[in-house]
Amino acid sequence: MKLRLFPIVATVVVSALLLFGGWYGYRQIALQSPLEKMVKEYDGVNSAQFDITHSTVGLKLDLEPGTDLRDLIQHIKDNGASLIAGKELQVEVKDHSNDALDKWWSEALFPIAEAMENKRYTEITSTLNEMTADLPGLKATAEMDDTNVYITLTDGDASKFIILPRTGEQLGVWNNA
């Protein structure tokens, strides 16, 4: 029995193309397109880019100032639950900040981090209200769901969206302790 090289190589190449092409097509047509359509139809979303892997759904958003980020994330989780199917949703929002917002956030960061660390989430809202009283035109909101705290800062056309996870990083036991 003599094996011929060309039919074997051709069979392997065609099989690999079908397998990987099928996975790519499934990911593009059955997962990414419906998710992208659902997110782009949400009011306030300028653009959305997805990166879908076996365990995560990465989402890069470009939002208009004042968009309700918590409601958008809940919309994705509710309407895209069958598409996400147990994958971790990782959201990154494009920053449209200015120097005034960055400076204000750096001053507000310590009391908000302290409130997050102590799990006193109502202090976040009171801190934002106290600090925005000094700056006319600055609007700051804080919302929460079961996994994150969402802070939105808006100053005219400039905006900053911050997502703070409610569960902090856990320190492990040191090897030399």
Mean pLDDT, consecutive 10-residue segments, the chain of 177 residues? 85 90 79 87 92 89 92 92 86 92 91 92 92 86 92 91 80 45
pLDDT of residue 126: 93
CA distances from 107 to 42, 100, 128 (A): 32, 11, 11
- Residues pairing with 56 in the sheet: 88
Q: 61 phi and psi, to 5 degrees?
A: -110, 145
C-beta separation of 56 from 31 below 8 A:
no
Taking the alpha carbons of 51, 53, 57, 58 in that order, is the dihedral positive or negative? Answer: negative
Question: Are the beta carbons of 114 and 108 closer than 8 angstroms?
Answer: no
pLDDT score recorded for residue 169: 55
**Residue 177 pLDDT:** 43
Tokens of 29: 């047509």
Structure tokens at 159: 């905006």
> Could you tell me which of 67, 71, 26 has the C-alpha nearest to residue 47?
67
The structural domains of the chain, ordered by start, are 5-93 (3.30.70), 99-165 (3.30.1300)
> How far, CA to CA in Å, does 141 sit from each of 43, 72, 114?
18, 15, 18
The model's pTM is 0.78
